[in-house]
Amino acid sequence: MRDVTYRYPTSRPGTPAPITNLNLTIQPGESVLICGGSGSGKSSVIRLLNGLIPKYHEGTLTGQVVHTSTNGNEHIISHEELFETGRFTATVFQNPRTQFFTTNVTSELAFACENYGMNPQDIKDRMMRVVNEINIPHLLGKNLFHISGGEKQRVACGCSMMSEPDLYLFDEPTSNLSPQAIDEFREVYASLRRKGATLVVAEHRLYFLRGLVDRVIIMTDGRIEREMTGDEFWALTDDERSQYGLRDLTAPPEPELPTIVANGNATKLPPTLVPTLAPSTTSDDGGSADSVSEPTALEIRNLQFSYGKKLVLDIPELRLPAGKVIVVAGPNGAGKSTFASVLTGLEKARGTISYRGEKLTPKKRLAHSYMVMQDVHRQLFGTTVRGEVTVDSAASFVDPAQVDGLLAEFDLLHLADRHPMSLSGGQKQRVVIATAKACQKDIVVFDEPSSGLDYQHMVAIAHALRELAAHGKVVLVITHDYELMNLCGDLILHLNKLSY
């Protein structure tokens, strides 16, 4: 990358460019980690390297991004068509569903090679090599929409390997993965590194890459803030790490919180969470709150939900309190996101859900609740950040000073007039979470809210979740992120995968 500067087409005069005067050389066989705070330019670097900037994400680009092939020929990425850059780069995105073009694993693995006109037998031979290397032969022929998030990510890695590119790019590949799935991704990454592949990964979660990167680039405001070896990076002190807005460099401990297990087969354990709650550290009057006296706010009875003939949820009885941050955990496929959709009225289900004694229809559940989805792009509607946080807000939340205060709380005030879709992934996440707080609903559900967040903003989100709970809301957080759980969780609701 030679003197590269990139600006969005909607950038206003005087606003900083996402990428400014960037010079970066990546050597063949090198493993490079790009990290930094939300909005620092990590994903923009990935998009420059694969040609999505400026071919898909339009804007003003100066400087050159040059790929030197094994025969010594130079290709200026911005001059190449995307189908040509796809011959020597392959990208695995944060959400693999956004890069799938077919409906089953076998077809998806073959898709790129078929488009380049490879011999069918060569495609089959290469596919068998790839699936055995990353341990997914059992997924061949399966529906892409019926496999777990970790399995989808491994399929996406397999698709990139099918192309046998010169350069592998990963854009926050573990942000929505469980600890087990992160371990599986680490094995895939390590395998590619052992083969001598050239790897560039942009990440917020860092601990799993220990021992797997040769060089680390720390970015701030579209510039390279600091460059160091992998060994130097993992020797950073906690103060240095937090100064750059980076998350923990060691694997976070599994949280030790009171847990209720909602089995798919039945809620065999005591159905109420109340007797097992740890004392809350705060209450509305500033003193200690006695958790045992917490009344039930949300009661669920005989809840069942099916996709076609496949039963996904079967919870005979469950009571949840207000005023606590409830972490919804469980293996992939246990129905956590489905549970959230049912709870918030987005899906209909058999059984009853009551809030403070009132039975709620799906329509009433919609009125009582707000859900921050895993894919926040699906719920951004405003033309500015300021408009976004007020469009769905309660009528009482319209004072400009209140809005500015909310934006400042989530470090969004300087972005108030930006279009939400022009923001980074972590910034978009904060916009939707700010909107959830502004809506003042009784039941608030967050599906992987720490996705794309740096350390400082994750701490701010954890504080906001605790504040919502302190105001008597029912707060549920679906997450695999141990760091977030340790920051704000009061108890864990564990959903088991159905065994029938």
Span 439-491, pLDDT tens digits: 889 999 999 898 878 898 899 999 999 999 999 999 999 999 999 999 999 99
Report d(CA 165, CA 325) in Å as an integer: 45
Residue environment code for 90-113, b if the CB has 16+ CB neighbours within 10 A, otherwise e:
bbbbbbbeeebeeebbeebbbebb
Q: Name the strand (E) or helix (H) holding 404.
A: helix 400-409
Count CB neighbours of 303 within 10 A: 21
CB 30 within 8 A of CB 168: no
Sheet holding 167-171, edge to edge: 89-92, 167-171, 198-202, 31-36, 215-220, 223-229
Count of residues in the chain: 500
Report d(CA 144, CA 450) in Å as an integer: 25
Report d(CA 349, CA 63) in Å as an integer: 55
Report d(CA 175, CA 170) in Å as an integer: 11
Q: How do strand 358-359 and strand 350-355 relate by DSSP bridges?
A: antiparallel
Q: What integer pLDDT is reported at residue 272 of this predicted model?
A: 44
Strand, coil or helix: 423: coil
Report d(CA 75, CA 87) in Å as an integer: 12
Structure confidence by residue, pLDDT tens digits, 138-161: 999 999 988 877 889 999 999 999
The angle subtended at Cα 167 by Cα 166 and Cα 169, nearest 5°, is 160
User: Which of left, alpha, beta for 155 (phi over 0: left; psi -120 to 50: alpha)?
Assistant: alpha
Q: What integer pLDDT is reported at residue 225 of this predicted model?
A: 96
Report d(CA 381, CA 131) in Å as an integer: 40
Report d(CA 76, CA 73) in Å as an integer: 10
Q: How do strand 215-220 and strand 223-229 relate by DSSP bridges?
A: antiparallel
Cis amide prior to 54 (ω within 30 degrees): yes
- Residue type at position 350: R
Residue 91 β-bridge partners:
169
Q: Which two three-digit tokens encode residue 316? A: 């005979």
**pLDDT < 50: residue spans in the chain:** 265-293, 395
Q: What integer pLDDT is reported at residue 94 of this predicted model?
A: 85
For the chain, the C-alpha Rg in angstroms (whole number) is 24
Topology (CATH) of 259-273+294-495? Rossmann fold (3.40.50)
**Side-chain half-sphere of 163: how many Cα atoms within 13 Å?**
26
Where do the DSSP E strands lie in 29-121? 31-36, 60-64, 66-68, 74-76, 89-92
Topology (CATH) of 2-244? Rossmann fold (3.40.50)
Q: What integer pLDDT is reported at residue 287 of this predicted model?
A: 34
Q: What are the residue ranges of CATH 3.40.50.300 in the chain?
A: 2-244, 259-273+294-495
Report d(CA 205, CA 458) in Å as an integer: 12
DSSP 450-482: TTT--HHHHHHHHHHHHHHHHTT-EEEEE---H
CB 424 within 8 A of CB 222: no
Q: Record the pTM.
A: 0.83
Count CB neighbours of 314 within 10 A: 21
Residue 171 β-bridge partners:
202
Residue 494 β-bridge partners:
261, 329
Report d(CA 218, CA 227) in Å as an integer: 6
Instruction: Compute CA distances 331 → 188, 306, 337, 480, 498, whole Å.
Output: 20, 18, 11, 9, 11
Q: Which two three-digit tokens encode residue 193? A: 């590194």
CB 475 within 8 A of CB 469: yes
